[in-house]
A and B are shown apart, each in its own frame.
Chain A
């Protein structure tokens, strides 16, 4: 069997696992931030921090041992544009309005939540509008105008360019961040007692290096390499819609297999555990909010080159500097939506 088919099968399994874990643990950056800011309950946020630590450690170990050149992925780039943090803010706002990011919406769709179907359709279409459709020329023009160049693409390469040994710099940054993040996560006794959140953080974190392994090792072929990537959910949702529409003219890719796997995994577990409940909208205002949320996430996610998972976990795991800008933007956008703009984004 050709390597591309192995990649697709492994991607589907990865998606099934993400869907099942997400459905069972309620892993979600937005839920974490909201619980923390509104109710003072930091468990879900700590689960996200734990996932960041696990993803970072696993990915860096894989990059050295496999080895995989993470520089071939979209995240570690020296030339960045201001659209990355701005897109992050838009994504964060959209995430609050739609009540969940792209990945969370896929999981919720599997549990019978039809509101997330609307969010996903709007997200996918808006992502493609921004990437290659009616908004693309505008995006490219602005992107070119607000570009700047970093001294290095990743934190460790930056330290290395200042004269530190490359491997030492890589591990120093990795270990410091992993220790800080896991200390923050595990310092809280409520989180340590919450098996669900512990498992969510740990397992989702492990799926990130698994994704790198699939595209970077399984998909490694001198003549026909698979594009290096791990979990991300903005362009892939658009890709999935596009695949449904024109599959005769394009081939199935790893991100589409992951997206299909997530919905299937969450749906399967909902059937088994009896968690399948059909849900819809309460009011036209609610629909408007979901549509706007999906559109903002699609536009912002493409500008920021990723979503809360795609930049917050996958991009972060490469130690790319761009991921910090995007994640910072997403958190800021979510804060704006939860606090000062609350009345505007709520129904």
Chain B
């Protein structure tokens, strides 16, 4: 009997230890994360970061970050930045949020080069800092998928508006734009480095006010997908604008939000 109890206790402690690994601890071992945290002492365990633990092919790994935190003018989450410390460039994507979003929850799809721990750092307007982390294991792919000849062009913006919209209630918005997100680090079929071509930002405005700014880095997947919330108080027009780095070309999509 005592042996069984001991075994149970041991199993429980192993489980708890496992749960403690991915709460954001260890952030101070990485320069990029340390710089993003700044001088503050971050709070662990409140920011949630969800990624699949195993990914076959790391070129588009789903990422979701959320936190239960007020989004009012007085106190709101103003930024969420994501870092992949073992990628060639640790910066993944930066979200600059506003109270107009109503809820601090964002998702995207990102590139993860090898098995590693990813970190998210969130700052609130009142000066609190939150850190979360997620362990991702990347394995080689199962299919022979060699992307054939088609190179994606910048364009075809797609926006899915919230399903039911009520004044001041956060509604889910999903966006996608076609773009190769070429990092400049990859070789083409002829062995030459493919030139860098990236989207710099996605800016979302509602009736002239900025709702969300997303700064993209090389680890954002091809055809960037962004999911977030908007909580308009009145009916109005939203503008979604993607801007390409270097060329400065933009692609824009407008959408009317009609509150019932």
Question: Is A77 an interface position by the 8 A CB rule?
Answer: yes
- List chain B residues, Cβ under 8 A from A137: 140
Question: Is B158 an interface position by the 8 A CB rule?
Answer: yes
Question: Is A190 an interface position by the 8 A CB rule?
Answer: no
Q: Which of B52, B140, B144, B146 has the largest count of A CB atoms less than 10 A from its CB?
A: B144
- List chain B residues, Cβ under 8 A from A78: 148
User: Given the known A-B contacts A223-B225, A250-B54, are A77 and B144 also in contact in the complex, defined by CB atoms under 8 Å?
Assistant: yes
A186 to B54, alpha carbons, bound, how many Å? 48
Contact A249 B144, beta carbon cutoff 8 Å: no
Question: Is B56 an interface position by the 8 A CB rule?
Answer: yes
Contact code string A58-69 (vs B, CB < 8 Å = 1, else 0): 000000000000
Question: Is A175 an interface position by the 8 A CB rule?
Answer: no
Question: Is B174 an interface position by the 8 A CB rule?
Answer: yes
Question: Is B53 an interface position by the 8 A CB rule?
Answer: yes
A residues 192-234 in Cβ contact with B at 8 Å: 222-224
- List chain A residues, Cβ under 8 A from B160: 222-223
Contact A143 B144, beta carbon cutoff 8 Å: yes
Question: Is B166 an interface position by the 8 A CB rule?
Answer: no
A242 to B52, alpha carbons, bound, how many Å? 13
- Nearest-Cβ distance from residue B61 to partner chain A, whole angstroms: 12
Question: Is B139 an interface position by the 8 A CB rule?
Answer: yes
- List chain B residues, Cβ under 8 A from A246: 53-54
Q: Which of B140, B142, B160 has the largest count of A CB atoms less than 10 A from its CB?
A: B142
Question: Is A187 an interface position by the 8 A CB rule?
Answer: no
- Nearest-Cβ distance from residue B160 to partner chain A, whole angstroms: 6
Contact B54 A136, beta carbon cutoff 8 Å: no
A246 to B136, alpha carbons, bound, how many Å? 13
- List chain A residues, Cβ under 8 A from B227: 223
A residues 302-321 in Cβ contact with B at 8 Å: 302, 305
Contact B148 A74, beta carbon cutoff 8 Å: no
Question: Is B145 an interface position by the 8 A CB rule?
Answer: yes
A residues 70-89 in Cβ contact with B at 8 Å: 74, 77-81
Contact A136 B144, beta carbon cutoff 8 Å: no
Question: Is B151 an interface position by the 8 A CB rule?
Answer: no
A248 to B53, alpha carbons, bound, how many Å? 8
- Nearest-Cβ distance from residue A48 to partner chain B, whole angstroms: 25
- Bin the interface of chain B by size: 10 to 19
Question: Is A235 an interface position by the 8 A CB rule?
Answer: yes
Contact A136 B139, beta carbon cutoff 8 Å: yes
- Nearest-Cβ distance from residue B223 to partner chain A, whole angstroms: 10
- Nearest-Cβ distance from residue A113 to partner chain B, whole angstroms: 28
Contact code string B50-78 (vs A, CB < 8 Å = 1, else 0): 00111010000000000000000000000
- Nearest-Cβ distance from residue A334 to partner chain B, whole angstroms: 24
Contact A249 B54, beta carbon cutoff 8 Å: yes
Which listed residue, B52, B54, B146, B225, touches A79 by the CB 8 Å rule? B146
- List chain A residues, Cβ under 8 A from B54: 242, 246, 249-250
B residues 158-204 in Cβ contact with A at 8 Å: 158, 160, 174, 176
- Nearest-Cβ distance from residue A123 to partner chain B, whole angstroms: 14
Question: Is B17 an interface position by the 8 A CB rule?
Answer: no
B residues 209-248 in Cβ contact with A at 8 Å: 225, 227
- List chain B residues, Cβ under 8 A from A77: 144-146
Question: Is A131 an interface position by the 8 A CB rule?
Answer: yes
Which B residues form the contact surface with A (CB < 8 A)?
A: 52-54, 56, 139-146, 148, 158, 160, 174, 176, 225, 227
Across the A-B interface, give the 3 residue pairs with the lowest CB-CB distance, nearest first.
Answer: A249-B53, A132-B139, A131-B142
Known: A131-B139, A222-B160. 15 other contacts (CB 8 A): A74-B143, A77-B144, A77-B145, A79-B144, A79-B148, A80-B144, A132-B141, A132-B142, A143-B144, A224-B225, A246-B53, A250-B54, A251-B52, A302-B142, A305-B144
21 examples of A-B residue contacts, CB within 8 angstroms: A74-B143, A77-B144, A77-B145, A81-B144, A131-B139, A131-B142, A132-B142, A137-B140, A140-B140, A143-B144, A223-B174, A223-B176, A223-B225, A246-B54, A249-B53, A249-B54, A250-B52, A250-B53, A250-B54, A251-B52, A305-B143
